[in-house]
């Protein structure tokens, strides 16, 4: 009989159906690193969203056969150690309809300066105006006719591209940074930086792309450009971005992620308070529809593994 342990059930606010095979199920609202080994000592399948699993813990879990990640990102899992220990890792993919929507919520909020105009009205400036309208500088730029660059062209990237095209934007898909050859339909990384009015990050975080957007990359972007990151905070040098926003190197940034979450030790980006920066607390993926889709795919992944036809395996 399979023994399944969900380490942080509170992270998934959706109904979970029972897997269609004989099993024992144990779930915890959350799990600290010190509790991982004790709770997984008899488990054959572990489910985790945000609880990291490292080699020092994994080598103490000889019964563990599968780690089913209730998310797309697996940067909290020591995948190399899993491979060596014969533990399969799977994730959920192409499940969130809300991330592309959130990307454009950030883009439109920044391009239309919704925060600035809201503060203007609430401060009474419109009420005191002699005209029917008020305008702030700089004047908003339309998305139509602009160029949107995408770094990370998986399911989410493709969905964002379709929305961009619906707004009348040209889409550039970036090739890997410093790539020696170029795939069909991809544009060199440097050209995407130089020509994007909006640059969207939707790629996984790896050792090779950590802080891939730094001072040099920000300086290579047009001064009117926006940077949108709904992937992982570690993709961006936060100090460099804070400086770029303060100095006007780029026009604005919309972030749903930071390099440390929660940002208990702060962040350079949390120290600046200006209308060209919007930060949301890693919730772009959240919607009732997205969460239920994730829940169904998670259980289907576990069932596929037990049936001998595993899917969504992480190499």
Choose the catalytic residue: 38, 55, 119, 261: 261
CA atoms within 13 Å, Cβ hemisphere of 73: 20
- Does 303 qualify as catalytic in the annotation? no
CA distance linking residue 299 with residue 217, whole number of Å: 41
Contact 183, 160 (CB under 8 A): no
Of 185, 13, 155, residue with least CA distance to 91: 155
Q: Is 128 a catalytic residue?
A: no
Element (H, E) at 172: strand 170-173
DSSP secondary structure letters along 234-286: GGB-HHHHHHHHHHTSSSEEEES--SSSS-TT--GGGG---TTEEE--S-TT-
The residue whose two tokens read 């002699």 is 130
CA nearest 156: which of 230, 100, 231, 108?
100
226 within 8 A of 193, measured Cβ to Cβ = no
The single residue of 23, 50, 282, 303 carrying the catalytic annotation is 282
Q: Which of these is catalytic: 102, 217, 232, 238?
A: 232
Structural tokens at position 186: 């991809």
Spatial distance between the Cα atoms of 194 and 187, rounded to a whole number of angstroms: 11
Q: Hey, is 204 helix, strand or coil?
A: coil
- The secondary structure of 104-164, three-state, reads HHHHHHHHCCHHHHHHHHHCCCCCCCCCCCCCCCCCCCCCCCCEEEEECCCHHHHHHHHHH
Which residue matches tokens 């972030």? 255
Helix (H, G, I), strand (E, B) or coil at 166: helix
Who contacts 243 (Cβ-Cβ below 8 Å, separation ≥6)? 215, 249
* Residue 282 falls in the annotated catalytic set: yes
Active site residues: 232, 261, 282
């Amino acid at each position: 009989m399979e023994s399944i342990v969900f380490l942080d059930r509170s992270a998934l606010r959706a109904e979970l159906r029972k897997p269609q095979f004989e099993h024992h199920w144990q779930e915890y609202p959350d799990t600290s690193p010190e509790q991982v080994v004790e709770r997984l000592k008899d488990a054959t399948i572990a489910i985790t969203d945000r609880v990291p699993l490292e080699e020092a813990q994994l080598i103490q879990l000889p019964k563990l056969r599968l780690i089913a990640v209730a998310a797309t990102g697996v940067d909290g899992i020591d995948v190399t150690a899993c491979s060596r220990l014969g533990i399969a890792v799977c994730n959920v993919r192409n499940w969130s309809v809300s991330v592309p929507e959130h990307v454009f919520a950030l883009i439109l909020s920044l391009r239309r300066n919704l925060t600035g105009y809201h503060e203007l009205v609430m401060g009474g400036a419109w009420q005191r105006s002699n005209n029917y309208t008020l305008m702030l500088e700089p004047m908003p730029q339309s998305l139509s006719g602009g160029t949107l660059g995408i770094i990370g062209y998986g399911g989410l990237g493709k969905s964002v591209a379709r929305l961009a095209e619906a707004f009348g934007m040209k889409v550039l898909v970036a090739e890997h940074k410093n790539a020696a050859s170029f795939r069909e339909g991809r544009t060199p990384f440097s050209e995407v930086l130089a020509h994007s009015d909006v640059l969207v990050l939707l790629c996984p975080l790896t050792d090779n792309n950590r802080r891939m957007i730094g001072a040099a990359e920000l300086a290579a972007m047009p001064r009117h450009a926006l940077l949108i990151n709904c992937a992982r905070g570690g993709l961006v040098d936060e100090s460099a971005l804070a400086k770029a926003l303060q100095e006007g190197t780029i026009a604005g940034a919309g972030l749903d992620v930071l390099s440390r979450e929660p940002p208990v030790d702060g962040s350079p980006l949390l120290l600046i308070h200006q209308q060209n920066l919007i930060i949301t607390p890693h919730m772009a993926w959240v919607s009732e529809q997205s969460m239920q889709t994730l829940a169904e795919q998670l259980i289907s992944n576990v069932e596929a593994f037990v049936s001998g036809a595993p899917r969504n395996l992480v190499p």
